[in-house]
Copies of this chain bind each other. A is one copy, B any other.
């Protein structure tokens, strides 16, 4: 079976990166080849020219989708953690990735604002930064995601358990583990 892409979408601070890392650790232990594509990392590198307009955010999603697709074609699972606030861009990525698992990592704004690990919301409220999803920019939740999680009500461990069950249900964890090549 062709590999798959899990796409975590949600507000900044909702727990996407944590989930991505936990899933990666699980896959690592299962010897399933994978790559984490984290929005923040991408913005520091292959998307460093992009800002936070709708157009730029969608281009960011498009590029991550491009890389995820290349990886999937080589039987590498792609784990994406990116706010990806616009439905249109996510749906476009879905059309090019055969096994696309959209996971809405929901979390009330009040909760992510209280966490505010990056100090993002504080700076948004003070007017220091603009274009913050949930404050000054919209977030369009998925209508029919493959999985809905609420990280205000579930622990990361519980979320991972639910996610793994869903991946099995989708038939994506039922095959034999991917063989990692050990030398070209």
Q: Which residues of A pack against B, CB within 8 Å?
A: 1-4, 32-33, 35, 45-46, 49, 59, 62-63, 66-67, 70-71, 73-77, 172-173, 175-184
Copies per complex of this chain: 2
A170 to chain B, nearest CB (A): 11
Among A3, A71, A74, A173, the most chain B Cβ lie within 10 Å of the Cβ of A74
- The answer to whether B172 and A177 have CB atoms under 8 Å apart is no
A74 touches which one: B59, B74, B176, B179 (CB < 8 A)? Answer: B74
Residues of B within 8 A of A176 (CB): 182-183
Residues of B within 8 A of A74 (CB): 33, 35, 71, 74, 76
Which residue on B lies nearest to A181, using beta carbons? B178
Residues of B within 8 A of A1 (CB): 183-184
- The answer to whether B49 and A59 have CB atoms under 8 Å apart is yes
Cα distance A139–B144 in the bound complex, in angstroms? 51
Residues of B within 8 A of A63 (CB): 46
Cα distance A4–B181 in the bound complex, in angstroms? 13
- The answer to whether A178 and B184 have CB atoms under 8 Å apart is yes
- The answer to whether B183 and A182 have CB atoms under 8 Å apart is no
Q: With contacts A59-B49, A71-B70 known, is A77 near B182, CB below 8 A?
A: no
Among A3, A32, A45, A75, the most chain B Cβ lie within 10 Å of the Cβ of A75
- The answer to whether B71 and A182 have CB atoms under 8 Å apart is no
Q: With contacts A70-B71, A74-B76, A76-B74 known, is A184 near B32, CB below 8 A?
A: yes
- The answer to whether A181 and B75 have CB atoms under 8 Å apart is yes
Which residue on B lies nearest to A31, using beta carbons? B181
